[in-house]
Homo-oligomer: A and B are copies of this chain.
Amino acid sequence: MSLSEDQTNAIPAARESGQPTLRATVPALEARLYEPVSLLDHGFVRVIDYMGDDHAIVQAARVSYGRGTKKVSEDTGLIRYLMRHRHTTPFEMCEIKFHVKLPIFVARQWIRHRMASVNEYSARYSVMDREFYIPAPAQLAAQSALNRQGRDAVLEGTEAEEVLGLLRDDAERCYRDYAWMLNEGTEENPADPTRQGLARELARMNLTLNTYTQWYWKTDLHNLFHFLALRADSHAQYEIRVYAEAMLEIVDAWVPVAARAFRDYRLGAVSFSAPMMAILRRMLAGETVAQPDSGLSVREWREMMASLGGTD
- Residues on A lying within 8 angstroms of B by beta carbon are 6, 14-15, 17-25, 27, 30, 33-34, 48-52, 56, 59-61, 63-67, 77, 81, 84, 89-90, 92-93, 95, 97, 99, 103-105, 108, 111-112, 114-115, 117-127, 133, 135, 139-144, 148-153, 155-156, 159, 163, 166-167, 170-171, 173-174, 177, 180-182, 184, 195-202, 204-210, 214-216, 218, 220, 237, 263-265, 267-275, 277, 280-281, 283-284, 297, 299-300, 303, 307-310
Contact = CB atoms under 8 A, between A and B. Distances in A.
B90 A307 contact: no
A102 to B, nearest CB: 12
Contact of A66 (B121, B159, B204): B121
B22 A34 contact: yes
B273 A264 contact: yes
Task: Tell me whether chain A's interface is mostly helix, strand or loop, or mixed.
Answer: mixed
Contacts of A171: 206
A84 B205 contact: no
Contacts of A277: 268-270, 307-308
A267 B275 CA distance: 11
B51 A95 contact: yes
A195 B159 contact: yes
Contacts of A205: 103, 105, 133, 167, 208-210
Query: Quick one: copies of this chain in the complex?
Result: 4
Best-surrounded residue of A201, A215, A263, A277 (most CB of chain B within 10 A): A201
A198 B49 CA distance: 39
B274 A271 contact: no
Contact of A197 (B142, B198, B207): B142
Given A205-B208, A209-B204, A118 B104 contact: no
Contact of A126 (B66, B118, B216, B237): B66
A159 to B, nearest CB: 5
